[in-house]
Amino acid sequence: MTVLLSDDRITSIPSIENGEPLVDLYTRDLLTTGRQFARGTVADRLAVADTFLPVGIRLQVVEGLRPIESQQEIWDGYCSELERLHPGISVADVHVLASRFVSPIEVAPHVAGAAVDLTLVGANGPLDLGTPIDATPEQSNGACFFAATNITREARTNRALLADVLTAAGLINYPTEWWHWSYGDRYWAYTENHPAALYGPAYSLT
């Protein structure tokens, strides 16, 4: 069963901020949508992963660092959507369901500069990864989950390639979102059996 970001096993992990600066991903020769920032080690690992890809295919980062206000807005909006879809649902159940798609703000890796949302692009544009980035479980009938089976063979192959290069570079995936990869956050600490996350909220570092 997938461990979600709202799980006590994640929220109980401490965050010991190491003061690592944020960097513009452009300085690591990464393709981005607009200007995107992440912690230096995250950026370096993404750059390494990019070199592992076959000729003609690149990573493209759609979002890195996210302001706390934006994280809260996404969280509130999705919680409201879930409440509309499930009349009478409890606050606790909304919290759990919402964390499949967006992190509770107190543990959000994007806010720490520890996570990126990304895809693969080739000569003719984005490759088929099964769903658009940020497709909710409801919109995609669960196809946004990395291991989803209701996607094409091509999309499964491309997801496997994405995972191969990013995992080899030391990043980890949040299993409910094929596009979400991180390093140094609480989910990384849980997955890699580290005692603490390396990064806390980081927007003030820009």
Q: What are the binding residues for Zn(2+)? A: 110, 117, 180
Structure tokens at 205: 């570092």
Annotated binding site: 110, 117, 180
Q: Are 181 and 116 in contact (CB under 8 A)?
A: yes
d(C-alpha 102, C-alpha 136), whole Å: 9
Q: How many CB atoms lie within 10 A of CB 42?
A: 34
Residue 187 CA to residue 175 CA, distance in Å, equals: 11
Q: Please identify which of the residues 17, 20, 177, 192 carries the catalytic annotation.
A: 177
15 three-state secondary structure: strand
> Distance (Å, rounded) from C-alpha 9 to C-alpha 21?
27
d(CA 96, CA 180): 18
Annotation says 177 is catalytic? yes
**Nearest-angstrom CA–CA distance, 49 and 22:** 19
Q: Are 16 and 114 in contact (CB under 8 A)?
A: no
Pairing of strands 125-126, 37-39: unpaired
**Catalytic annotation, residues:** 177
